Amino acid sequence: MANKLRSVIPLQHYIISIEKNKDTFELFRALWKSRGIDGIRVETMTEGIKKAIEIERSKTDELYFIDIVADDVTFMPQLEILSAETNAPILIATSAYDKNEHHEALNNGADFYGAYFDTPETNIDAVIASINSVTRRSKKQNVPNKILAHGDILIAVNQHKAFIKDMELSLTNSELRVLQYMMINRGNILSHKQIYRNSYNDAYDELSPDIIYSTIKRLRKKIRKITSANYIETVKNMGYRLFTKAV
């Protein structure tokens, strides 16, 4: 059985493994390589999405698939975005199988959701069998999402969603537009007028700086509920700047 499966998966295949446990990854990577499949490890869904975008844009002929180790990673909030960004099969493995999570994962774009088997070899056989059965992604017309990614921040523009450290931010439309504009211009000092004109449809007036001040204050508060990292700097008498690297 293993020999037949090995012959189906071509040598140009490789795997993006989204998991935090390096030792587990290295164990499985050796087994994957024996099947002609190399591995790339990332620790978060944000990193996985970035890597998938990079691969999709490279126009390479190499084929790949994505393995999410659900024990280590908070995957559900960004699963739909990952699905929108890639034609690669998305496979989820967990030691704590949950029927409701199973249904949600498949509805949000996963091609496989299953529990671990007794041995690593059996796990790999199951994954390869799943890859060979996936036809949906190879047939669909993929409509790429517009993704803005910086540090631990990720914005899916088409879906109007923002994430910090794989946790979704609950933002108003104005907060999301301001954060999106700052992401596009990260590292640059942006005046109240620039932020307002590019984030709101209204004309700039004497109340506009207060509106931006309040929006930035709310953004910082929501970001700090998830991370202590400081992303937004106040530049005295000039405006605001999104750090190129969180401090």
Examine the domain organization and report whether 222 and 166 are in the same domain.
yes
What pLDDT shows up at residue 29?
86
DSSP assignment letter at 144: P
Examine the domain organization and report whether 123 and 187 are in the same domain.
no
- Tell me the CB-side half-sphere exposure of residue 209, using CA atoms within 13 A: 6
Biggest distance spanned by C-alpha atoms of the chain: 73
Distance CA 245, CA 202 (A): 31
What pLDDT shows up at residue 179?
95
Query: Considering 139, 170, 193, which residue would you say is the last residue of a domain?
Result: 139
Examine the domain organization and report whether 21 and 132 are in the same domain.
yes
Examine the domain organization and report whether 92 and 60 are in the same domain.
yes
What pLDDT shows up at residue 3?
42
Examine the domain organization and report whether 107 and 10 are in the same domain.
yes
* Tokens encoding 159: 């879906």
Examine the domain organization and report whether 120 and 197 are in the same domain.
no
What pLDDT shows up at residue 229?
82
What pLDDT shows up at residue 105?
92
* Tokens encoding 1: 């059985």
pTM: 0.66
As averages over each run of 10 residues, the pLDDT of the chain (247 residues) reads 40 79 87 84 92 79 80 89 85 87 91 82 78 57 70 88 91 93 91 91 84 94 88 91 70
What pLDDT shows up at residue 244?
59
Domain that holds residue 46: 2-139
Examine the domain organization and report whether 114 and 28 are in the same domain.
yes
